[in-house]
Amino acid sequence: MSHITVDVRLRPIRFAFLVRPDDRKRTLEIFKVNTCLWGGKFNPIVPCFRQVPGWWDRHGHKFETAIQITNGYLDMFEPDFLVEAEPGLADGLGFDPNRVLQLGHMLARDGQARSSGCGQSVLDLYRHRYEAEFQFVRRHKHDIIDVVPRQAAFRNFAAAVFGAFPSDEDLRYFGRAYEDAFVPERISLDGQVLAGLYEKRFTSALRIGHSKVDVDYHNRDDPTLFVLDATQPRDLVDFWNLRAVRPHILPIPIQWAEELSGFCKDFIARNFRPLPGNPNGVMMHAHVMFARSVPTAEIEPLYARHFRTGVPGADVRQDWYPSIWRPAPDFTVRETRPTLTAGSRTVDSEFSQDKPYVRIDCLDPDFAEKYGNSSRWANVVRLRDWTFKDQLATVFPCDYRAPKFPKFEPLAATLPTTEGLISLVQYKESRHSWRMATGTAAINEWLRTHVITATLSDAGRATSQIIQALGGFGGVRSFAHPAIVKLLNSITRRPISPSIQHQEFRNKLESPLKGDHWRSRNFETLVERGAVELGMKLKCSKCSSWSWYAIDRMGYRVNCALCLQEFGFPVVEPAKGAEWAYRLVGPFALPNYATGGYAAALSIRFFADVVGHGHDNNVAWSAGQELAFGQNDRIEADFILWYQRKVMFGNDYPTQLVFGEAKSFRGENAEERREIDDAFDQRDVDRMKRLATEFPGSILVFSTMKKPEELSDDEIARISKLSEWGREYVRERRQSRAPVIVLTANELFAPYSLRDAWGKLGGKHEEFANAGMIRAENLRVLADLTQQLYLNLPPYSEWLRAKWERRAVRRKARLAPPAA
């Protein structure tokens, strides 16, 4: 019996509010709605505009279009629902219309049914906390506050920072419930009071709204004083979003800079201290960040007067707002949203092939009433497959917008995201039964949603059988050596039956790996897992030829496979007429390197086990598929993968789609050379290009068992040309078109990890292996590295720079006046 580990995590629903960033009225309403939603403080506010406004970048740079900015925010937060502040803002974003809501419908109005409204309201939470804590301690002092600004101009500011309740008559009950449950201290806010509040602990309505939620920000961030114009909605939106992704953000209105100056300078001096637990003397700094509304000319005078402490090394001024809408380049640490957890559970689920169901028991907040509106909270599910021979798909293409896949149940939707599989829970104590699929079945089903039919080819079947027979990629490692693959192939070419004397087999398997203690069990693996079958070779007394016999087909009389006559078992001199021998079985007996199955299996193993040590990545795979795009339009791929880099605590990276073409060795003799078409020819390259055109952004892999020096000049030229095509930057997707990876014997036969294999090769390989910053498990990085190693292309960054320079020269030439 196999088992699957199911991690379930409970968190509030994540709503992304779409609004024009200068809309004062509606941003205030958004702050208020979020005060009434459990976990509302962490819901992003996504600025929407038709044209990127001038204030967006202080220096007037236009790095992206308006729609790219909106999409960038969405990708950063992967919302469960969109909330339009005005109808139509979600148009063109490709979001499932059933998950687009209206701001005015978010909260249930007084007298409306329980089923109206969206998300989990704070009322259940207030009631629960009141019953559990506050009804007994009301007489004691607490630090819960209700903040109302002295001047109306600061209403938006106070709502963004502390929270505020709706004032509509039929929504007043939220504010009253807060009042009744906690009897908060009423704060009349001005600059002085704000400075006082920052000095002590306080609990605002916005903070109570995320009770029971653990927030993990994943990485250390220096505390930030965010200097903003309190009357500018766009600054408040920026503040809101920054606080949703980073800890320790304190807003400082320029209007109150005078009053807050003392506090700020003290804060900066106090925070200039060694980073706790860091032995290298790294210091913490409080940053003073200036919001986009603060005019550039005013920054220095403001800073000099109110913020600069003069303590050597302590002062850090930042004039730019972090571009949280922009994907991080591959060489930097990416910033992710925090992980919110209101409960988690890990269960091992029994699993069998004939009943491929995994049970998911949903987690609910303990404070939630039994009945309410639908989709009040979310469960994040992560699956880990332990024993099912690396066949089961537990990774899926990420799509939080309008996924058609995966469909584990006929009715319930699941959103595949970098966080995991999101299940929007409808009722308390609900339970799911998810139907799981193998990689091949899952990938085919997904292709069907793209109107593509896929059929397994013979080569694909052989690859699957090899991986399955050997019990997954751990077993595939048993033939990850050129001598072993060649040995297995040579046996298939033996006359009569693909068999080999037992001791010869053992010796030939073990001798290439003499002294390699960790791979000393290759022989046992291949024998025990059934790549070969033990039997006897008997010499026919009639025609003197040798044939192989299975153990259960032997007797005192046997039939010769060649002359078909019956002869007697050599009982008198068994040493001369009989010997124990292994025969290759199933896919292993197929000629031409198991019809390419070894190369494909080793290639898939590379992505599953070698490139990231098998820990920090996960693949779902399918081998040898013929894809039908139309009636007479078929393209074959030797393997298709979903590849995802896993992160233990935090969000995974987006899943990547990988198409691969795998080649075996050049044939060993003249006859084989004719049979085995081992070179990457133009058809292979065209096929891969076509796949990348159909699936923009996918990764293309050319893998061969050959050594790099055995690649012909023509092959290198062909693949280089495609690689340069793939290097082109696609603005719309904000990444290169189709990274091309080249794998050779160095990678396919790597015994353990890529780092280890490259480290032993010396030269450039070793250099790449030892550079700690280089993350080869990032396939875009791996593409760049292997293109340098095997195609002699310049590093991607250099290539891009040269291209820009050439373009600049051309432009200049065009603008220059014609020579006299």
List interacting residues with Zn ion (CB under 5 A): 540, 542-543, 560, 562-563
Q: Which is nearer to Zn ion, 123 or 560 (CB)?
A: 560
Q: How far is the CB of 552 from Zn ion (least distance, A)?
A: 21
What minimum distance in Å lies between the beta carbon of 544 and Zn ion? Answer: 7
Strand, coil or helix: what is 298? helix
CB nearer Zn ion, residue 208 or residue 578: 578
Nearer to Zn ion, 546 or 680 (CB): 546
In the bound state with Zn ion, the residue whose beta carbon lies nearer, of 426 and 544, is 544
> Cα(209)–Cα(63) distance, rounded to whole angstroms?
36
Encoding tokens for residue 712?
Answer: 């012909």
Cβ contacts of residue 268 below 8 Å, gap of 6+? 225, 285, 286, 288, 307, 309, 311, 314, 315
Pairwise CA distance, residues 208 & 206, whole Å: 6
Give the nearest distance from C-beta 545 to Zn ion in angstroms: 6
Q: In sequence order, which residues have a C-beta less than 8 Å from that of residue 816 and are 6 or more positions away?
A: none
Sign of CA dihedral 495, 499, 503, 509: positive
CB crowding 28-51: b at 16 or more within 10 Å, else e: bbbbbbbbbbbbbbbbbbbbbeee
Q: How far is the CB of 537 from Zn ion (least distance, A)?
A: 13
Question: How far lies 73's CA from each of 250, 415, 477, 580, in Å?
Answer: 22, 18, 42, 67
Q: Report the nearest approach of Zn ion to the CB of residue 554 (Å).
A: 15
Give 484-487's long-range contacts (Cβ < 8 A, gap of 24+).
484/509, 484/512, 484/522, 485/593, 485/598, 485/664, 485/665, 485/705, 486/665, 486/668
Which pair of structure tokens corresponds to residue 655? 């899943």
Distance in Å, CB of 558 to Zn ion, minimum? 10
CB of 569 to Zn ion, least distance (A): 13
C-alpha torsion sign, points 278, 280, 286, 288: negative
Q: How far is the CB of 573 from Zn ion (least distance, A)?
A: 17
Amino acid at 409: E
Helix (H) or strand (E) holding 151: none
Beta-carbon neighbour count of residue 573 at 10 Å?
A: 8
Provide CB contacts within 8 A for 564, sequence distance 6+: none
CB of 542 to Zn ion, least distance (A): 5
Cβ contact 679:663 at 8 Å? yes
CA 141, distance to chain mean position in Å, is 46
Which residue, 534 or 543, has its beta carbon nearer to Zn ion? 543
Cα dist from 273 to 278, 313, 474, whole Å: 11, 10, 48
Question: Do the beta carbons of residue 242 and residue 236 sit within 8 Å?
Answer: no
Of 370 and 557, CB closest to Zn ion: 557
Cα–Cα distance for residue pair 792/794, rounded to 1 Å: 6
Residues 6+ apart with CB under 8 A from 99: 80, 81, 82
Shortest Cβ 546–Zn ion spacing (Å): 9
Instruction: Give the residue with the Cβ less far from Zn ion, 560 or 685.
Output: 560
- Work out how close the CB of 532 gets to Zn ion at its nearest, in angstroms, rounded to a whole number: 24
325 or 546: CB nearest Zn ion: 546
Q: How far is the CB of 623 from Zn ion (least distance, A)?
A: 40
Looking at the Cβ atoms of 286 and 560, the one nearer to Zn ion is 560
Query: Least Å distance between CB 567 and Zn ion?
Result: 7
CA distances from 651 to 213, 335, 418, 423 (A): 17, 10, 5, 16
Closest contact distance (angstroms) between CB of 556 and Zn ion is 16
Between 562 and 761, CB nearer to Zn ion: 562
Please identify, using beta-carbon distances, which residue of 109 and 539 lies nearer to Zn ion. 539
Residue nearer to Zn ion on the CB measure, 344 or 559 = 559
Write down the number of H helices and E strands in the chain: 28, 33
C-alpha distances in angstroms, 703 versus 20, 127, 459, 721?
A: 49, 61, 15, 16
In single-letter form, the type of residue at position 311 comes to V
Q: Report in angstroms how near the CB of residue 499 gets to Zn ion at its nearest.
A: 16
What's the token pair of residue 135? 């009804």
Residue 570 Cβ vs Zn ion, minimum distance, rounded to whole Å: 13
- In total, the chain counts a number of residues equal to 820
Which CB, 135 or 565, lies closer to Zn ion? 565
Burial 691-708 (b: 16+ CB within 10 A, else e): bbeebebbbbbbbbbbeb
Between 13 and 538, CB nearer to Zn ion: 538
78 Rama class: left (phi>0) / alpha (psi -120 to 50) / beta: left
8 Å CB contact between 300 and 294: no
- Cα dihedral value 444, 445, 446, 451, nearest 10: 90
Q: How far is the CB of 705 from Zn ion (least distance, A)?
A: 38
Helix (H) or strand (E) holding 206: helix 205-208
Query: Which DSSP state fits 589?
Result: G
CB closer to Zn ion out of 316 and 558: 558
Least distance CB 543 / Zn ion (angstroms): 3
Query: Are 249 and 242 contacting, i.e. CB atoms less than 8 angstroms apart?
Result: yes
Choice between 74 and 560, CB closer to Zn ion:
560
Nearer to Zn ion, 183 or 558 (CB): 558
- Residue with Cβ nearer Zn ion (119 or 577): 577
Note the maximum CA span of the chain: 112
